[in-house]
Amino acid sequence: MAEASASKKRKVQADVVQPQLQASSRFSVPGLTLQEYSIKAPLDHHSENSQEIDIFFRVVEGTSKLHCKQPFLLYLQGGPGFEAPRPTEASGWLRAAINSFKIVLLDQRGTGRSTPVTAASLARIGNSEEQAAYLQHFRADSIVQDAELVRQQLVPQDMQEGRWAILGQSFGGFCCVQYLSAAPQGLTEVFLTGGLPPDVNQPCAAESAYRALYKRVLLQNAKYYARFPQDIALVQRIVHYLDQQPDGGAKLSNGSILRPRTFQMLGLQGLGSSGGFERLHYLLETAFDGPDLSMAFLKGFETWMPWAANPIYALLHESIYCQRTASNWAADRIRQAEFSQAFDAKSSADNSLPVNFTGEMVFPWMFDDFAELRSLKAAAELVAHKKDWKELYDCNKLHETTIPVASASYFEDMYVDFDHAQATAKHISGIRQWITNEFHHSGLRDDGQRILDVLMAFSRGMMPLS
């Protein structure tokens, strides 16, 4: 009876039709050739009757015939909720990587050309409960299962036994660590750049992560104002102007309201990456046109805020830390309980103190202030209070892994706290880290060739332990 049951199970598995890759455009940019593909994936990888979504990716390689037999490297973008890079030439880390790999640039589900999640697409799904149920399938675990579908169809068995290397930047590194937990059999080596998730053994690392990150953000604010002390008074003037408007803020062309608290969010891009201080300063210097805020500044602020095209970031950012429990708007709770004075824009401006910008945090009031997020407020509340998130990391498997793992870990990272990342590194067997304060979180973009050279040397034993 048991033999018959096992035979029937094998037959059912054999009858399952694997999704097939669909190739489309092939084109070239200077130094690179790009082949586009798509594949169907279930929205819910754990349901036999799930609806399907599209997963899109590009395979990028050098133009020389010497590149034909290279192994594959999957690149996982930071975020969550941002599409893969769109190369225009062989530059940056891509230029370095094509010497060793064919690179797979995956639009993570919900981004780019992979059945995008937008306010309009979520509205078509139904009410807020249905939207929240849909959104639960867009975390790292689902992204990794999508990647496995792609790998099984793309990578030939005679090439490293059908396995590939993976490179994760920031949130993409979180996905890589989840990959090590869920499907290490598909991997040859793992490279992380600012991508060690914090405290993977905690049910939810959001509170401890944000508590540490607020302190790092305050340090970056201090460095910014030391670099541009003339901006202290300018920022105070902007805050006073916004606070004195009839609605407590300036109305933007898209219907959003620029209040002091939303103005402070410029720190998300301005404080933690190479060149960010300068970009923030140049934006602020355009702030006023006579007594009023200038159109250049208001349009610049809109450009810095990605919510219209990339709402997943606001909706799911805190959930990337969650296993088995809810985040309950952790960044907002920690700010109010422990950092309310430090980030009180009006009080700081009124008392002639520097106004601190915030960092990589999301807040419930964003779904009031930003027009493109207002229709998603109810769904966002449900996501924030969802308690039954699935496990993302298996510490036992991480302890047992034999896959080479190399990490560029940035000591002064404003987005991924170094100390909490080290708590995770202790769980990953054999991890080699390049610990440096030479780079910000944007190190891969700033000097990708050097970083990849070091990580590959670590992974392949060319830099032995001293």
Catalytic residue among 38, 114, 128, 170: 170
- 170 as an active site residue: the answer is yes
Task: Find, among 120, 127, 139, 84, the residue nearest to 315 by Cα.
Answer: 139
Q: For residue 228, is it left (φ>0), alpha (ψ between -120 and 50) or beta?
A: beta
| CA pair distance 247, 61, nearest whole angstrom | 52
Strand locations in 240-322 (E): 250-251, 257-258, 288-289, 292-293
| CA pair distance 418, 50, nearest whole angstrom | 39
Neighbours of 66 (CB within 10 A): 9
Measured N-to-C along each axis, helices 295-304 and 276-284 cross at an angle, to the nearest 10 degrees, of: 150
| CA pair distance 216, 414, nearest whole angstrom | 6
Q: Are 326 and 387 in contact (CB under 8 A)?
A: yes
**What single string gives the DSSP state of each residue in 184-231?**
GGGEEEEEEES---S-TTSSB-HHHHHHHHHHHHHHHHHHHHHH-TTH
Strand locations in 391-443 (E): 405-410, 432-436
| CA pair distance 42, 66, nearest whole angstrom | 36
Alpha helices in 317-356 (DSSP H): 330-338, 345-350
Task: Find, among 385, 368, 376, the residue nearest to 127 by Cα.
Answer: 376
Catalytic residue among 137, 317, 440, 441: 441
- 47 as an active site residue: the answer is no
| CA pair distance 192, 422, nearest whole angstrom | 13
Task: Find, among 407, 408, 406, the residue nearest to 438 by Cα.
Answer: 408
CA 309 to chain CA mean position, Å:
14
Catalytic residue among 28, 158, 352, 388: 388
Q: Among all residues, which ones are annotated catalytic?
A: 170, 388, 441
